[in-house]
Chain A
Amino acid sequence: MLLTITTTRQPATDLGYLLHKNPARMQAVELAYGRAHIFYPEATAERCTVALLLDIDPVSLVRNRRGPAGEGFALEQYVNDRPYVASSFLSVAIAKAFNTALNGTCKDRPELPEQQWPFEATVAVVPAPSAELLRRMFEPLGYSVQLQDYPLEPNLPEWGPSRYYTLQLRHPAVCLRDLLSHLYVLIPVLDNDKHYWVGEHEVEKLLSKGGDWLPRHPEREFITRRYLLNLAAYTRPALERLLDGDTSTNVELDAAGVELRSSGDGATLALGALASSPEQPTTEKRNLHDMRLEHVAAEIGRLGAKRVLDLGCGEGKLLRLLLQNRTIEYVLGMDVSYQALTRAQQRLGLPDMAPRQRQRLDLIQGSLLYHDPRLSGFDAAAVVEVIEHLDEGRLNSFEQVVFGKAKPGVVFVTTPNVSYNQKFEKLHAGEFRHADHRFEWTRAEFEAWAAGVAERNGYSVQIGPLGPEDPEVGAPSQLATFHRADQQP
């Protein structure tokens, strides 16, 4: 909410010319969500400080739907940190209050913008995932970084630190224009929240502020991606209202490294890149999930199945693979998340598909815990990494819905192999790969469950590893293939 910039280059009050703001007056600019005050707490020839103070109006934030979850009615919308932190709102204020300085123009003293001065900038407070990230953002640009952190709850030290810092940057010689553009671009990147206020053209504008320093920044990829991804601000108001703000960020670790996944929205990649080093992108791990899907798609192809179900189709990766197989006449994708289906629809280009292709695919919202006659009459069904998202006590219903009622000819069920978890360095013992996993089974546990399902429902079953096998702990995932009694395994 507060940015101060101090210089000791003498006469320090030249800062007023550079900013086109008179040190002797309190000034203010109106913003869509409140106002920003500009004033000088100190203004002497030796030392001059300008303060940009945001006064965000929380009520209008809600009314104009500019707060978090802009369209939602989750309580989060009303009590949030926006008024107190440096976020994209601060960038907007910089652009408005220090417009000429940001553009490097100074009518009265045209020589000043090109000069490099010693500057000290303080931002109170900056939300950031870690102190380390703050340093990684600013140190490559020549700043020495000083941070003050704050406990989340002083009365409960076990809750640890909060994500807020007072950020102090010092640079011996930098153009004010560059200092402002660094803050303008990097502050929203640090903030974990989505920029609800940015439109696509504004992103380009933001990136253009990166001028020529961004391409040389070692974290350029992360910075760019973070912007682009945060643009995809899907909101799901109805659901959030029900979840009581419990949209915990889900973390899935995969294969040799890390794939952080924020419960199914676009932030996935950014967080992934953040957690691993940027030079080594996460392709290897992402391939494992793709491999899992390709394996199941190939198996379905081998069967010569004509009508195929994808239960828990998510955003439609497997559906895409299945549609590439010409033998398959019809695919029905089902997911419980309407939001995932909407994205699947976009990703598969459903609305614009040619009529014959369109007839091969339907997407429906449904649940694996309710009998659904739409699921009957299929040759094969894929249930890829789905069962571990159900409470164990509800597997009985799942079994009856899929094996008892829908009865596809062949059913492919995959689930993580918990023994493999020790290969994930970032995973603590006893922790699941994903915050929404209700259980993760050993190979023996999966086998016992699968054998019981097969026996009770007139299926035979084979179980095999899925993914590269480790001699001791096996493969990261496991696949059970169920054949209905009248089907040849």
Chain B
Amino acid sequence: MPLASLRVPELSLILLVGTTGSGKSTFARRLFKPTEIVSSDHCRALVADDENDQSATPDAFELLHYLVGKRLKRGLLTVVDATNVQPEARKSLAELARQYHCLPVAVVLDVPEAVAAERNRQRPDRQQMGAHVLPMQRQQLRKGLKRLREEGFRQIYHLNGVEEIDAVENIRRDPLYSNRRDDRGPFDIIGDVHGCYLELVELLAELGYAVEEEPRLDERDLGVRVTPPAGRRALFLGDLVDRGTASPQVLRLVMSMVQSGAALCVPGNHDIKLLRYLGGKNVSAKHGFAETLEQLAAESDTFKNQVRQFIDGLVSHYVLDDGRLVVAHAGMREEMQGRGSGAVRAFALFGETTGEIDEFGLPVRYNWAAEYRGRAMVVYGHTPVPQPEWLNGTIDIDTGCVFGGRLTALRYPERELVSVAAHQVYSEPVRPLHHAQIAAETQLTAQQRHDEVLDIRDVTGKQQISTRLAHSVTIREENAIAALEVMSRFALSPKWLLYLPPTMSPSETSALPGLLEHPAEAFEYYKRQGVERVVCEEKHMGSRAVVVLARDEEAVRRHFGIVGEGFGKCYTRTGRNFFTDANLEQAFLARLRGAFTAAGFWEQFGTEWVCLDAELLPWSAKAQELIKNQYAAVAAAANGALPQVQHVLEQATTRGLDGSEALLSHYTARRTAAEQYTEAYRRYSWPVHSIDDLRLAPFHLLATAGRTYFDKDHQWHMETLRTICAADPSLLLATNYRVVSLQDPAAVESAIAWWNNLTEQGGEGMVVKPFDYIARTRRGVVQPALKCRGREYLRIIYGPDYLLPHNLERLRERGIKSKRSLALREFALGVEGLERFVAGAPLREVHQCVFGVLALESEAVDPRL
């Protein structure tokens, strides 16, 4: 009976097996997408311009393997259109399938030699083919047919004759059993039970499950019924049996729950061992199996049969909730998730070992979780640990109940741990349960210990960083190169670097006489974006500083995993420590902490740490070398040379030289400009001898334990920080600001007057921000801030002569588009990094964002903007 439909696993490598002229290409084209077919003829053509050039065969097959490998790696079904009649050819492809944990399928197209020969005769390109080729291939094919199964092909379709081949109408792609992406939970994931029935029932009660005994009307009745809390289900991580005192009861309970849909279950290595025993295999009674054997002796054959069927039906692992959750007894590497192969099953049951044996005679487990980079949370058990600890989004929740530890459940998606203590030590572990704690001398969490060293592959090369504000931000390789050097040579430990501030764009260029920037353009921008209210904040012309501050060193250890580096840091926009003088740093941080404590901040916000965005004054505190080498030097040169120029020009005018008057007035103007420039830079520079010369003006309260404050408006930030500033007004500077409704012309006018007043006195200017921290329009996020800098201040930026008419005219041609795009990308990365940090993400995920901001800062954008 010819098959109309061939069933294959959705992720499989399908080998078409057939002689030349058997119709493989036609078959493939008829039933698969063109991109799913990798053909040896096509590969030959690609490397030799001739699909019949047999000398190109080795290169063509190398290419074919490469293409197949890439597709399988990416999880795509692939069809190999080649004769595949030789066992070597099939073997290497089957190996490739195994390497990527896909199932190999063989579809044999078996047509009579006469048919194949006739087809070849009709193809002009096959006239050169030797007469011996087809009979030889026929012979190889027939020989190979019997060996396919032992070569590892899980499914084999032998289509005998043209009729059977033509009868196939479609290919049915079966989802893998492990694929439960549509199942979104919520779940209560329960670790290794090992026959601890009492504790299991207590844990279920704790989780809100009602467990009731049921009368057993039939031999097949399990005698227990569990009702889960509304909408929830349990998810057992396997190793239900062995070592404990009540393995059959545990099985009965779990089987009943799985049967009624109240639970899912994946198998553990102990369960599989039991299955082997029940299937009649010889199994050793070690590792707690003797107890199970004894307990099972009293059970009926019907029950044992039920157990056998139950375990046999378990799927090695599950991919759940749209790929966000993976459960398996011993964990699952990213590249194996949702795939099917012997190796995947073995990994799910046993995990990975290094091949070494430890001092207790047990195999040393390879810590695959340390390398885990996957998007999915992986919850697993198998290895008893004293405390479940998150590592790279994975967690082992086997807390060794049977060894006298606890039975633990993880509530998903809440990420809450619930556990009950063991009633007794049912079994003595070979390796002491608290062995792992010896390594934890430093008292850091597993994640913190792991994060001591980050991997270079996470930051170098071209990077794409997904952010919640801007989809994906691309970091170009050349920018990563610059950032790697700066990060390595100058930055603080990445553990301190939660955040680097984004760059800020100026307002559009003003057309008003004698001005390059004016608030009108900033207001206009936000109005155009549909923003109704803005906040104007005075700019202090300090240096941008990020402060990470904790109550004490203990809190730094707990939250940042840093030991022996103090209770806080203040760093620059490139992640460099603000202070080179340790005493000054200490004095500064102590004063700052004092202010937060005095303001009752820690209690009010329920936190032990805080991250602030601020300006540190004076500018010269950090930039003294820059000021000396550049700003003061320019002033010294100008003020030295220009009076002499003026003098000789005055002499020339005395001589009445034609044109000397104009030149004299030009240079006199430049002399005045140089003097004004000197005044401008001086205003922001004063020597720092002690803490008394420093001021900190915080303007964003970025984050505290477990949360960020991007959901709060800028008025909230300003007011919250004002109360803290009040606690130490000689160090902390509360920033003046005003809220402006853009629909109210009077308010806008008055804000402009305020700016005029600030800048006429030489002030740097102000920053205009949308009232909300994150303001969106239909087109996306709007600029988080625009700066409007004063006329005097800009002398420092654009040079002494920038206001001379001919110069200003040309400077107005500046373009701000790339600066704005950069500001938005950096803003998105900054928010993302902090959100990741407060959500407890591994450091590399936070560091990627921080590194990204630094890399973007090396992009070629006019630094005067």
Contacts and interface: CB of A to CB of B under 8 A. Distances in A.
A41 B452 contact: no
A246 B657 contact: no
B230 interface: no
A242 B652 contact: no
Given A25-B658, A241-B863, A1 B454 contact: no
B660 interface: yes
Task: Name the prevailing secondary structure of the B interface residues.
Answer: helix
A389 to B, nearest CB: 7
B486 to A, nearest CB: 5
A370 B453 contact: yes
Nearest to B626: A245
Nearest to A26: B659
B615 to A, nearest CB: 15
A367 B454 CA distance: 11
A368 B7 CA distance: 53
Contacts of B861: 73
Interface stretch (A9-17, A80-88, A133-141, A268-276): A80-88
A242 B857 contact: yes
Interface string A218-254: 0000000000000000000111011111101000000
Interface in B450-494: 452-457, 459-460, 478-479, 481-489, 492-493
A166 B640 contact: yes
B86 interface: no
A371 B454 contact: yes
Contacts, number: 218
Contacts of B862: 73
B636 interface: yes
A78 interface: yes
Contact of B625 (A41, A246, A369, A436): A246
Contacts of A39: 652, 657, 660
B757 to A, nearest CB: 26
A397 interface: yes
Given A58-B807, A242-B857, A76 B625 contact: no
A396 interface: yes
B639 interface: yes
Contact of B801 (A37, A58, A155, A368): A58
B777 interface: no
A158 interface: yes
Interface string B626-642: 10111111111111111
Interface-centre pick from B628, B648, B857 (highest chain A CB count, 10 A): B648
B277 interface: no
B799 A73 contact: no
A26 B658 contact: yes
Interface string B840-865: 00000000000000100110111110
Interface in A26-60: 26, 37, 39-43, 49, 51, 53, 55, 58-59
Contact of B633 (A152, A242, A373, A400): A152
Nearest to B662: A26
A19 to B, nearest CB: 16
A366 interface: yes
A242 B483 contact: yes
B493 A394 contact: yes
A244 B574 contact: yes
B825 to A, nearest CB: 16
A85 B633 CA distance: 11
B860 A237 contact: yes
B36 to A, nearest CB: 33
Contact of B641 (A1, A43, A389, A397): A1
B598 interface: no
Interface residues of A, number: 78
B493 A26 contact: no
B29 interface: no
Interface in A96-155: 122, 124-125, 127, 150-153, 155
A49 B481 CA distance: 55
A369 B847 CA distance: 13
A26 B863 contact: no
A41 B629 contact: no
A26 B488 CA distance: 57
B485 A337 contact: yes
Given A24-B657, A238-B479, A241-B858, A80 B634 contact: yes
Given A53-B648, A76-B630, A124 B481 contact: no
Contact of A369 (B488, B635, B810): B488
A245 B626 CA distance: 6
Interface in A357-399: 365-373, 389, 391, 393-394, 396-397
A74 interface: yes
A367 B629 CA distance: 30
Contacts of A436: 489
Contacts of A43: 655
A389 B489 contact: yes
A401 B625 CA distance: 34
Interface in A389-428: 389, 391, 393-394, 396-397, 400-401, 404-405
Contacts of B674: 84
A336 B645 contact: no
Given A2-B648, A162-B636, A400-B453, A84 B485 contact: no
A441 to B, nearest CB: 17
Contact of A2 (B641, B655, B811): B641
Contact of B645 (A53, A368, A373): A53
A96 B468 CA distance: 60
A2 B644 contact: yes
Contacts of A369: 453, 487-488
A349 to B, nearest CB: 23
Contact of A79 (B478, B796, B858): B796
A26 B663 contact: yes
B687 interface: yes
B324 interface: no
A289 B677 CA distance: 45
Given A75-B864, A124-B640, A26 B660 contact: yes
Interface string B302-346: 000000000000000000000000000000000000000000000
Interface string A162-179: 111010000000000000
B682 interface: yes
B687 A158 contact: yes
A368 B488 CA distance: 8
A336 to B, nearest CB: 5
Interface of B: 452-457, 459-460, 478-479, 481-489, 492-493, 565, 572, 574, 623, 625-626, 628-642, 644-645, 648-649, 651-652, 655, 657-660, 663, 666, 674, 682, 687, 796-801, 807, 810-811, 854, 857-858, 860-864
Given A79-B631, A84-B638, A248-B625, 13 more contacts: A26-B652, A53-B649, A58-B799, A58-B801, A59-B810, A150-B637, A158-B687, A242-B858, A338-B481, A365-B484, A370-B455, A371-B453, A401-B453
6 contacts: A41-B648, A73-B861, A124-B644, A125-B641, A244-B626, A401-B453
Please name the 10 residue pairs, one residue from A and one from B, whose CB atoms are nearest each other, closest first.
A41-B651, A162-B636, A370-B456, A367-B488, A238-B482, A84-B637, A81-B637, A238-B858, A26-B659, A41-B648
